[in-house]
Chains A and B, each alone.
Chain A
Amino acid sequence: MDMGSQLLSVAPVVLVGGLATVVMLVDALVRDSTRWTFWMSLAGLIGSAIAGLATLSASGTVFNGMLAAGGTAALFDTLLSMAGILTLLAARPYLRREGQEYDEFYTLLLFALAGAMLLVHAAHLVIFFLGIELMSVAFYVLAGYFRRQTRSVEAALKYFLLGAFATGFLLYGIAMVYGSSGALAYAAIQEQLRHGSALPTLLLIGIGLLVVGVGFKIAIVPFHQWVPDVYQGAPTVVTAFMSTVGKAAVVIALVPLFRALQPAVETKLQLAVATLAAATILLGNITAVVQSNIKRMLAYSSIAHAGYLLMGLVAQNDRGWAGMLFYAAAYLFMQLGAFVVVASVETNNEERLEISEYAGLSRRHPVLAALMAIFLFSLTGLPPFAGFFGKYYLFTAAIEAGYTWLAVIAVVGTMISAYFYLGVLVAMYFREPHERLVPALGGTATLTVWLSSLAVLALGIFPSTLLQLLERFL
C-alpha cells in the first residue's frame, strides 16, 4: 500500500493530529485568534467524526503493523471525536464565564484527543505507549489550566507525578514483554505465544507490570488515590473530558492488546484481575457514599465504573470484549453529560459544587434536572438507559466465563451506588430551593447536555445497532 492510502485509512488520527498542530500555529501567529480556533477545532472534529465512519470498512494494519485501520478503531474515532465536540461545546461558555478562554485550551484538547485516537488504533506496543503519553501529557497541563487557582495547580502536579510513575511501570512492562517474546507488534507477540516460544515467567511479570501501569491510568484500586483530588481540582470541563475520553481510550486499547496476549493469560492472572475488579467496584462505590462534593462523588464513582469495565477483561471472551467496548461508549456519554451539568450549575470560583446546593434544581431548571436524572439513572444502571445494557452485557460475559461471584459483587456495588446517585436526585427533586434563582450555564453547553442524553437513551433502547457493529469487527 502506498503512503497516501495508508494515511487515508487512518484519516481521523491524521486529521486530529494535524489540526492540533495547525491550531497551535494559528495561536502563535495570528492576533486575536480565539474566535478562529474554536470554530476550526469544531469543524475539524466534525470532519474526523465523519472520517471515522468513512473508514469503518478498512481492515488490517498499516505502517508496518503499527496502526490498526478501520473496525472498532474507526468506530471509536467517531465516538471519541463526538466526545471532543461535546466537550468543546460545553467548554466555550464555561471558560468565558470564568474569563479564561485561551487558545491553549483548544490546542491541548486536540492533542489529548489525537493521543486517545492513536491509542485506539495501536497495534504495536510503541504506539500504545506513544498514545498514552501524548494523551497524558496534554491532560497534565489541562488539569492545571486554571493556573491562578491553587487547587488546579495542585491537581496538575499530583497527576503529573503519579502519572510519570505509572509510565515507568508501563515501560518496564513493555520491555519485559519484548524481552520474553522478542516482538512489539501485537500480531507478532501473539504468534510467539501460540508457538510457546516466549519465556513464561518474564512474560507474566511483563503483563503484571502492564496491568499496574494501565491501572494507574484508568484508576483501578489500589492505584486510584490520585483520582479524587485531580478530578476535583481540575476545571470541571477538563474533568468531564479526561474522566471520559481518557478512561475510555485506554480501555478500548486494552481490548486488542489483551486479545493478543490471551494465550498467556492463565486462570491465576484472570483471578488476579477479577480480584482487582471486585476491589475497585466495592471501594469506589463505598467511598463515593460519604462524599458531599459532587465532583468528588463522581470521581469516586468513576473508579467504580473502571471496575465494571475490567469485568470484560476478566471474562476473556468475545462477549467480554464487546461488553467492554459498549460500556466504554455508554460511559463516555453518561459521565460527560453528568459533569457538564455540574459545570453548568457551578458558579464562579468553584461555588455550588456541594450536593446539598442542588436543592430544588428541578424547580429552577426543570429540563437540566431531568437530563441530569437521566445521566444518574444510567450511571446507576437502570433500564432503559445505556448504562443498564452495558452492565447486562458485562454480566453475561462474566457469568459465561464462570465468574458469577464477580457479577454478584458488581450487583452489590450497584446497590451501593444507587444510594449516592439517588442523593443527588433527592436534592434536585425532593428538597425546596433555599436560594434565589441562579442562572445556569446556557448556550452551547445546553446542546452538549441534550446530545449526551439522547445518546444515552439511544444506546439504551436500541443497543443492538452498536452491538452488531462491535461484534462484526471483533
Chain B
Amino acid sequence: MEWILLGLLATPLVGFVLILLLPRERLRWIHALSIAVGLITFGLAIALWIAFRPEQPGFQFRIALRWIESLDIGFRVGVDGISLLLVVLTTLLTLVALLASLEAIRHRQKEYYAMLLLLETAMLGVFVATDTFLFYVFWELVLIPMYFIIGIWGGRNRIYAALKFFLYTLVGSLLMLVGIVWLGVYAQQHAGGFTGDLERLQQIGPTLPLTAQRWLFWAFALSFCIKVPLFPLHTWLPDAHVEAPTAGSVILAGVLLKMGTYGLVRFNLELFPQASFEYAPLLAWLGVIGIVYGALVAFAQSDMKKLIAYSSVSHLGFIVLGIFSMTVEGLQGALLQMVNHGLSTGMLFLCVGMLYERRHTRELAEFGGLARRMPLFAVLLALAVLSSAGLPGLNGFVGEFLSLLGAAQSRFLDNFVFAAIGVSGVILAAAYLLKFYHALMFGEPSNPENYHLRDIGWLERLQLIPLVVLFVWIGLFPRPFLHLSELSFRSMVAKLEQLRFGITTIELPTPQAAPAAEPVQPSPSPLEPQRFLEEQLRRMPPPRP
C-alpha cells in the first residue's frame, strides 16, 4: 500500500512539471489539469485514510529510500494517526483553493497553478517526512511557492508582506537547521552514527543531557512558534493574510499554520520531553495570552481579512494550550482543532474573497444587510461563523472543549488558571464573530452599491458546501476523526508520563503485553532517562517489519 503515499507526494509534483510544459495561452488545459491533479491527490488521501489502520502503533505506509548514505539521510516517509488528518486536510483545502482561484486569478495563470501544486507537494512532504533532513527540505520548500503567491498575486502591499513572511519564517527555520545538525552529530558521538532518521532520534532524544535539550527545544520551538504564530511572534500573519490572494489566505491559515503546531507535537514533545516539561507552562501562558490578545485585537478590526487573521492567532492559542497540556484529551483536541480551524477559517477567507470579488473592498463598514440579497451565502457564512465561534453541535466546539479539558486536567501544567482564562476566548470569539456577521448581513442595505449583489453561483457553492458538511459531521460525530489519532497520542502521553512521574495511567492496548497488568516498576527518576529508556524499549512492541 506504500504506493498510495508515494503517489500522493508525486502527483502534484508531476502536475507542476506538466503545467510548466504547457503553453501559457492554453488556459483551459491549465485549469483542467490543475483541478484534475487536485482531485486525484484528494482521492489518494482518502484512499490513504481508508487503508490506514488506527489500531497499529507507529508509522504506516513507510517508505525508506537511500539518499545520502554517509549521513544516514534517507527519503523516509510514513503516516501515523497524528499526520493522517493533516494530510487529508491539506489535499482538501488545496482542491478548494484551486477552485477558488479559477475566477479570481486573471494574470500569469500558468505560473500561479504551477506554484500552487508545488506548494501542495511541499506541504504534504512536511507532514509525512520521518527524516529530519527531508523534513527540513520540505519545510523550506514551502516558503518558495508561498513567497511568490503572495508577492505576485497579492494586494497592494504585497511586496512588503511577502518579504516579511519569508524572512520571519527563515529566521526561525535556520536555527532549527543548526538544531537538526546538532542532533545528528550527537547521534554520531553517542549512539553509533550520524542520522536523520526520526524514529532513531526519538529514542535518542530523551537521553540527551538537559542543558542540550533546553537549547534544542528552543531552536526547534522558535521556528514552529513563528509559523503557528504564537504571541508575540505573530506580527507577520496579518500582513501576509491581508495581502495574499484568497486561495493563498486559505492555504496559509488552513495548512501552513498547522505545520507549526504539528512540528511542536512531532519534534518538541517527542524529541525533547524533559525540556518540554520545563517549558510547558511558559508556552501554555503564551498560548493563553494569544487567545485573549488575538480575540481583543480581532474585535477592533474594520478590515474583514485582518479580523479573521487575528482570530487565527486566538484559535491557534487553543491548539498550543492543548498540546502543552500533554494529556490525551488536550492533544486530541489540539489535533482536531487544527483541522477545524483549517476548515472554518479557510471557509471564512473564501467568503471574504467572494465578497471582495463583487465589491473590491474588505471594509466591514461598506457592507450591511446582505442577507436579503444573498440568502444562501448568508446561511453558509452563518455556519462558518458559528463553527469558528465554537457553537456546540458544530466542529469548533469539540476541538476547543477537548483542548480546554486537557488543560484543566493536565498533571504537567497542574494549574486550573490556564483553562479558566482560555474559556474567555470562546466568549470573546462569539463577540467579534457575531459583530462581523452582524455588520455584514443584518440591518438595512444602506449602501446603494450593495443593492444588486448576486448570490453565490455553482462554482462558489462547490467550494463552500463540502466544508459545511464537514462542520456538521465533525460536530455531531467526531469519533471517526478522534479515533485515528487515539493510539498515537496514548502512547506518546504514556511515554511522557513515564518520564515525568515514573508511572502512567494510560492503558496501551499492545498486542503482546498489557503493561497495565504488569507490576509497576519502581519509578526511575526523570534525571536517569537512559535507564528508563532501556526499560521502555524492552516493553514496547517491536517495530513493524
Contact = CB atoms under 8 A, between A and B. Distances in A.
Contacts, number: 81
Interface stretch (B176-184, B201-209, B247-255, B479-487): B176-184
Given A419-B167, A430-B159, A464-B70, A399 B137 contact: no
B182 A415 contact: no
A430 B70 contact: no
B12 to A, nearest CB: 15
A382 interface: yes
B144 A377 contact: yes
Contacts of B158: 430
Given A384-B137, A415-B167, A430-B152, A467 B181 contact: no
Contacts of A429: 148, 151-152
B121 to A, nearest CB: 11
B178 A404 contact: yes
A395 B181 CA distance: 7
Given A384-B141, A400-B185, A414 B174 contact: yes
B68 interface: yes
A392 interface: yes
A463 B196 CA distance: 15
B159 A426 contact: yes
Contact of B68 (A395, A425, A467): A467
A411 B188 contact: no
Interface residues of A, number: 30
Given A395-B178, A396-B184, A464 B159 contact: no
Interface in A424-463: 425-426, 429-431, 463
A464 B185 contact: no
A418 B152 contact: no
B518 interface: no
Given A383-B136, A429-B148, A411 B174 contact: yes
Interface string A405-417: 0011001001100
A418 B167 contact: yes
A63 B181 CA distance: 42
Nearest to A381: B174
Contacts of A425: 147
Contacts of B188: 400
B141 A383 contact: yes
Contacts of A411: 174-175, 177-178
Given A383-B140, A400-B185, A415-B170, A426 B151 contact: yes
A399 B181 contact: yes
A471 interface: yes
B33 to A, nearest CB: 19
A468 interface: yes
A383 B137 contact: yes
A422 interface: yes
Interface in B328-367: none
B167 A392 contact: no
A13 to B, nearest CB: 29
Interface in B137-179: 137, 140-141, 143-144, 147-148, 151-152, 158-159, 162-163, 166-167, 170-171, 174-175, 177-178
Contacts of B162: 426, 430
Nearest to A470: B70
A426 B148 CA distance: 9
B133 interface: yes
A418 B168 CA distance: 11
A464 B69 contact: yes
A395 B133 CA distance: 13
A314 to B, nearest CB: 15
Interface centre among B70, B133, B162, B163 (most CB of A within 10 A): B70
Contacts of A395: 177-178, 181
A467 B67 CA distance: 11
A449 B184 CA distance: 35
B177 A467 contact: no
A415 B171 contact: yes
Contacts of B299: none
B388 to A, nearest CB: 32
Contact of A396 (B71, B152, B167): B71
Contacts of B141: 382-384
A396 B137 contact: no
B70 A467 contact: yes
A415 B173 CA distance: 10
Nearest to A380: B170
A407 B177 CA distance: 10
A419 B159 CA distance: 12
Nearest to B219: A408
A59 B46 CA distance: 56
Contacts of B68: 463-464, 467
A392 B144 contact: no
Contacts of B133: 392
Nearest to B166: A422
A128 B233 CA distance: 52
Contact of B178 (A366, A388, A408, A471): A408
B218 interface: no
A430 B243 CA distance: 13
B112 interface: no
B194 interface: yes
A426 B163 contact: yes
Contacts of A377: 144
Contacts of B178: 395, 399, 404, 407-408, 411
Given A430-B151, A430-B159, A399 B166 contact: no
Contact of B185 (A399, A408, A418, A471): A399
B16 to A, nearest CB: 13
Interface in A153-211: none
Given A408-B175, A415-B170, A426-B162, 17 more contacts: A382-B141, A383-B140, A396-B71, A396-B185, A396-B194, A400-B188, A400-B189, A404-B178, A407-B178, A411-B174, A415-B171, A422-B147, A422-B166, A426-B159, A430-B158, A463-B68, A471-B70
26 contacts: A366-B111, A377-B144, A382-B144, A383-B137, A383-B140, A383-B141, A384-B141, A388-B140, A392-B177, A395-B178, A396-B181, A399-B185, A400-B185, A400-B188, A407-B178, A408-B175, A411-B175, A414-B170, A415-B167, A419-B163, A419-B167, A422-B147, A422-B167, A426-B163, A430-B152, A430-B162
- The 9 A-B residue pairs with the shortest CB-CB distance, nearest first, are A383-B137, A411-B174, A464-B68, A430-B151, A395-B181, A399-B185, A430-B159, A400-B185, A383-B140
